Amino acid sequence: MCLLSPLARLWMRRLVKAAVMLTLASKLKRDDGLKGSRTSATASDSTRRVSVRDRLLVKEVAELEANLPCTCKVHFPDPNKLHCFQLTVSPDEGYYQGGKFQFETEVPDAYNMVPPKVRCLTRIWHPNITETGEICLSLLREHSIDGTGWAPTRTLKDVVWGLNSLFTDLLNFDDPLNIEAAEHHLRDKEDFRNKVEDYIKRYAR
């Protein structure tokens, strides 16, 4: 059996330690490379998704502007950002006639797989819109058990026409979001009308 001298054993330990360190460094570098690739792929997917959304919006905004209800106006604060716009609805009949109601719409990166996010900026007394701006409209629901929720076949035109109809055909007292407003209407329709008109005078001119 050949015995190594103390000096040889010392050098052997150093060589083994160096080999281990080299292996660890190589593994870390490889892991960082994989992580970077995943991050790059995620960023690429996000960019690709935004690109899909923006191409859709160019077409849908043109369609929307050509088919806008006469009671609606659309405003783009930044013409280069079609995914952010404001809608003004000015009903010409019903309880809300004479008011101007502002909605803020933001189209997310994942559009059209998910619906736009819409909020009412005008304080209103309405069974399907809360005083803080939340909206109950079936087609804005990402998941709907009755099949009337969002689907990739829907467009911005559908959203705008749906919001416009909340003041006429889709005004729904039977399935309210603002339960207090719905109960008010059930209890005293004339007083409900008076409160709606008061809100219009105060917030929707």
Which token pair is 30?
């490889």
Does 2 participate in catalysis according to the annotation?
no
Residues across the chain: 205
Asked if residues 83 and 53 have their Cβ atoms less than 8 Å apart, the reply is: yes
Q: How many other CB atoms are found less than 10 A from the CB of residue 112?
A: 20
What is residue 131's DSSP assignment?
T
* Segment (H or E) for 104: strand 101-106
Asked if residues 126 and 101 have their Cβ atoms less than 8 Å apart, the reply is: no
Q: Which residues are catalytic?
A: 136
